[in-house]
Amino acid sequence: MMRKIIIAICVFLGAGLFTFQISEKEFFSRHALSATPMKFKIPKGFPGPQYKFENNPLTVEGFELGRKLFYDGRLSKDGNFPCASCHQQFAAFATFDHALSHGFKDQFTTRNAPALFNVAWMKELHWDGGINNLEVQPLAPITAGNEMAENIDTVIAKLKADPGYRRMFTRAFGDGRINSQRMLKALAQFVAMLVSANSKYDKVQRGEAVFSPSEQLGYAVFRSKCAACHKEPLFTDDSYRNTGLTVNGRINDYGRMAITGNPNDSLKFKVPSLRNVYLTFPYGHDGRFYSVGAVVDHYRFHVVNGPTTDSLLRNKLNISDDERFNLLLFLRTLTDSGFISNKRFSAPPP
């Protein structure tokens, strides 16, 4: 009896807290439950994602809204720079052939636009990890003067003026209210769904394909020289490292240190994934490398030691020409052609 009373009280108490929680994040109205739920599939062998889908339940309608926003130039000041202008699907959502992307009034960004896939597994975003949650990431490009150069209120006003958006927000969130929170949650749904896990490498892991002898040898080189930082299966360990690149004196980018204020983080940048690496040319945080081979040669010959250079690279990497050849063949098996041709991720029909 006593027990039951206590349990009842606890339930009551829990319910009280719950209603309170709901009012805190009221971005979903009750009707939203009628939107079609969508599942985030974790590929075999992948860890659980970092992005908390609990706070942003995936729905077909939310994803489609995010997709439309991603391809919509109205998110930028002059209408010319949607997210997709720098993040191009055929380049695994990196900027193809541009060391630094360009945005509003032909100004250049100070960093190379990273590819976008498996972003849901990232603890922090951007080369310096300055962004702590996928949902707020779009605020950086939208408001940066050299990227989309727009302000949030103006973007929201542009969306509100469009009956098509009012319909899509209603479908995704239950009513037609348009605000920054809903726009950002929808964009996060689209970006988080960009999962790439169907390369030849993945098929080999699943026993559906086999490496050629050269690829197999290259894989062994990769495992011994690269995998400590470019850790499988994501091909990044999500850490920040100094790979011994010299500072570009015109940009003076010290990476992670700008975020933490810690001199030990000087010149450290986030380890990028090597999946789809043959699609994301050029390479490095400032796009200074014009081929994958050039990056490998940097590790072999050009590492410059400074106080924060990674201990794994201080003595450079001892890789023979043969090993380099096989390694590059292995890296080609990381291309996921199904990902870049997936119609669900391409520009929505008008």
Partner 1 sequence: MKTTILLLCVLVASICQAHCPGIAVDESNTLSVRIEFQSTVKGQPLVFSQTYTNSFGEDYKISAFRYYTGHVELLPDIHSGKLRRDHIYRLYDAAIPSSWVIEFSVLSGKYNAISFQLGIDSIDNISGARGGELDPAKGMFWTWNTGYVMAKLEGESAFSNVPTGMFSYHVGGYKGRYNTIRRVGLKFSPDQQLQIARAHAVTLVIEADIDKWFDSAHKLSIAGKSFLHSPGEWAAVYADNFSAMFKISSMEFK
Interface with ligand HEC includes 101 (CB under 6 A)?
yes
CB of 101 to ligand HEC, least distance (A): 4
- Cβ distance 71 to 82 under 8 Å? yes
**Binding partner of residue 328 among partner 1, ligand HEC, none, CB under 5 to 8 Å per kind?**
none
User: What three-state secondary structure class fits 152?
Assistant: helix
Please report the DSSP string for 3-16 in residue order: HHHHHHHHHHHHHH
Nearest to ligand HEC of 133, 175 (CB atom): 133
Interface with ligand HEC includes 174 (CB under 6 A)?
no
The residue assigned the tokens 């807290």 is 17
Strand pairing category for 240-241 and 269-270: antiparallel
User: What three-state secondary structure class fits 186?
Assistant: helix
Report the largest interatomic distance among the alpha carbons of the chain, rounded to a whole angstrom.
Answer: 78
> Among candidates 78, 75, 200, which has minimal Cα distance to 141?
75
Looking at 65, 99, 116, 183, which residue binds ligand HEC (CB under 6 A)?
116
Please report the DSSP string for 44-93 in residue order: TT----SS-GGGS--BHHHHHHHHHHHT-GGGSTTS---HHHHSBGGGTT
Nearest-Å Rg of the Cα atoms of the chain is 23
Interface with ligand HEC includes 187 (CB under 6 A)?
yes
Structure tokens at 176: 């037609």
Nearest to ligand HEC of 58, 174 (CB atom): 58
Interface with ligand HEC includes 185 (CB under 6 A)?
no
CB of 13 to ligand HEC, least distance (A): 39
State the burial class of residue 261 (Cβ atoms within 10 Å of its Cβ: 0-12, 13-18, 19+). exposed
Using the rule CB under 6 A, give the single segment among 48-56, 197-205, 206-214, 269-277 that binds ligand HEC: 269-277
- Cβ distance 336 to 275 under 8 Å? yes
Query: How many Å apart are CA 71 and CA 93, to the nearest integer?
Result: 12
Nearest to partner 1 of 180, 214 (CB atom): 180
Residues that bind partner 1 (CB under 8 A): 2, 5-6, 9-10, 12-13, 16-17, 19-20, 25-27, 52, 55-56, 126, 130-136, 139-140, 142-144, 151-153, 156, 179-181, 184-185, 188, 258-259, 261
**Binding partner of residue 152 among partner 1, ligand HEC, none, CB under 5 to 8 Å per kind?**
partner 1
CB of 152 to ligand HEC, least distance (A): 11
DSSP 308: T
CB of 349 to ligand HEC, least distance (A): 20
Q: Which residues bind ligand HEC (CB under 6 A)?
A: 70, 75, 81, 83, 85-87, 101, 103, 109, 111, 113-114, 116, 119, 122, 125-127, 137-138, 141-142, 147-148, 187, 191, 225-226, 228-230, 241, 243, 245, 269, 271-272, 274, 277, 280, 283-285, 292, 295-296, 299, 310, 312-313, 317, 327
